[in-house]
Amino acid sequence: MASSDPHGLLFAGLFLLLALGCLVGALRAGRRRRLLDDTPLSKALGVFVGEVQIEGVCVVQQPFTSYLTEKPCVLYNWKIQEEWQRWETETYKDGSGETRTRTVSKRGWTTVAEGSESAGFYLKDETGFLWVRPEGADIECISFINDTYTPLDPLYFGKGPEGAISDSTGRRRFFEEGIPLGTSLFVHGRARERQDIVAAEIAADPASEMFLISPRKEKDLSSSKNFWYWFLGMAGVVLTTLGSSILCKNLLPTVDNKIIFAGPFFYVILWALGWVWMALNSLIGLRNRVLQAQSLIDVQLKRRADLIPALVACLQGYRNHEAAVQTLVASLRGQSGTSNLVAVKPQLLALTEAYPDLLAVESFGELKNNLVDTEDRLALAREYYNSIVTFYNTRLEQVPDRQVAALASLQTATLLQVEGLERAAVGVKF
């Protein structure tokens, strides 16, 4: 039996480890693609708590000005690198195994300056604004500049440091990227309640499977994840074949070469099992989001039932109070026509101190705004529920998700219908 080659075994192990890494990366990309496809787009006003994705224009009251290109941004980062070239002495072994030295020329880049600025921003769509905290997100920025300059260019010393590094070649590379103000963005993450005001925000959350901010559309992001799923998966097959071939030649040189294909075969089996595990978890997560969407409708119905009657009662009392004040003012005016105006002046002053400005018109306008906002929230919650149910039911009917769903006995959900939908609708009467 021939002795095994240690270097060959090392390469075989390396190829197999890389194949395993490709499999993990492929399943991760596939999981993220399904998460993007299975989460419907929400409106800014309709974002509540949970996994959401939204498209809108980024805005902020006080934008940053990028350092190199001076663009108004919601966030940016920049870097300046300087090239060097030097002669270095290195040791090596010749063909006979003797240690020797030689002088070689080496080049490289050293970062001489860098910086960044980032803060929260609003995402605006046709329904309103949503606050986004980008810390901890996977951010895809837009490139502003990525060029190399010499000292003859004004940018070389205008933005870069005055001094030069050791062994400098006189070339600097300027790099800057960010998100300009007004850029249309796609955001996928977990929404939560803000701590400063009663509103939702999207921020980093350990429970979130993905927090992504990108200027690309959802369709492009999904296609990219799908590409990496298949590319990494097939790369794993190739690496497994190479690793198995080297391993068999070193450990089993007399065995039939067909055994080499045992490695790729088991890799494909492991890939299929990983897909089933990924798909099953995805369907269960989608079912849980359906249940959450249903509960959000109940939350908005509860909000309507609690808020509107209280506003109506408050405004009704305010209206009665205003009517009483107006009656008293009319009575005093009538008295002033037959008596000295100075005599009723103390009563008017007391009335002014006891009753501040009466703004019934503004109060009715506020009630109207609350009614519209409440019904809009409820409509968006219903729309989101129907969207997520449609995604869920479609998955359960597709092959091979249909067979995977049978493993967990997952059942289709029911869309909201007009008949019997209204639950204790609140009437507004005065």
pLDDT attached to residue 353: 47
User: Is pLDDT of 194 > 50?
Assistant: yes
Q: How confident is the model at residue 1 (pLDDT cuts 50, 70, 90)?
A: very low
User: CA 372 → CA 45, 369, 381, distances in Å?
Assistant: 12, 5, 14
User: Running DSSP on this structure, what letter comes out for residue 260?
Assistant: G
pLDDT tens by residue, 3-31:
556 666 788 889 999 999 999 999 999 99
Distance CA 276, CA 322 (A): 68
Domains of the chain (ranges plus CATH)? Answer: 11-232 (no CATH), 278-407 (1.20.1440)
Phi, psi for 135 (deg, rounded to 5): -60, 130
pLDDT attached to residue 421: 44
Nearest to 52 by CA among 66, 36, 63: 36
Distance CA 335, CA 340 (A): 9
Q: Which two tokens stand for residue 133?
A: 């905290």
pLDDT attached to residue 208: 83
Per DSSP (E only), the strands in 94-219 are 99-118, 121-125, 128-132, 138-139, 142-149, 168-180, 184-193, 200-203, 212-214
The highest-confidence range among 2-6, 35-39, 170-174, 309-313, by mean pLDDT, is: 170-174
pLDDT attached to residue 62: 93
Q: What value does the mean pLDDT take over residues 327-340?
A: 58
Lowest-confidence segment of 101-105, 108-112, 145-149 by average pLDDT: 101-105
Distance CA 182, CA 20 (A): 42
**Percentage with pLDDT > 70 across the chain:** 77
Distance CA 313, CA 319 (A): 10
Lowest-confidence segment of 152-156, 199-203, 292-296, 392-396 by average pLDDT: 292-296
Distance CA 301, CA 296 (A): 9
Q: How confident is the model at residue 358 (pLDDT cuts 50, 70, 90)?
A: very low
Long-range contacts (CB closer than 8 Å, 24 or more residues apart) made by 327-333: none
Strand 50-59, strand 121-125: pairing: antiparallel
Distance of CA 334 to the CA centre of its chain: 66
Collapsing DSSP to helix, strand or coil, 252 comes out as coil
Quick one: angle between helices 218-251 and 6-38, nearest 10?
A: 160
Distance CA 285, CA 282 (A): 5
pLDDT higher at 366 or 172: 172
- CA atoms within a 13 Å half-sphere pointing along the CA-CB vector of 92: 8
Rounded to two decimals, what is the model's pTM? 0.74
Strand 72-93, strand 138-139: pairing: unpaired
Per DSSP (E only), the strands in 157-270 are 168-180, 184-193, 200-203, 212-214
Lowest-confidence segment of 153-162, 268-277, 281-290 by average pLDDT: 281-290
pLDDT higher at 53 or 300: 53
Q: Which two tokens stand for residue 297?
A: 């409708």
Judge contact between 282 and 38, C-beta under 8 A.
Answer: yes
pLDDT tens by residue, 288-325:
888 877 877 777 777 777 666 666 666 665 555 555 55
Judge contact between 203 and 183, C-beta under 8 A.
Answer: no
pLDDT tens by residue, 206-226:
888 899 999 999 999 999 999
Sign of the CA dihedral with 292 first, then 295, 296, and 299 last: negative
**Mean pLDDT of all residues belonging to the chain:** 82
User: Is pLDDT of 379 > 80?
Assistant: no
In one letter, which amino acid is 409?
A: S
User: CA 319 → CA 51, 369, 423, distances in Å?
Assistant: 43, 18, 29
pLDDT tens by residue, 334-347:
655 555 545 555 65
What end-to-end distance do the CA atoms of the chain give, in Å? 100
Sign of the CA dihedral with 250 first, then 252, 254, and 255 last: negative
Distance of CA 273 to the CA centre of its chain: 29
What burial letters (b/e) apply to 382-417, b meaning 16+ CB within 10 Å?
bbbbbbbbebbbebbeeeebeebbeeeebeebeeee
pLDDT attached to residue 315: 60
| CB-count burial class (<10 Å; 0-12, 13-18, 19+) for 202 | buried
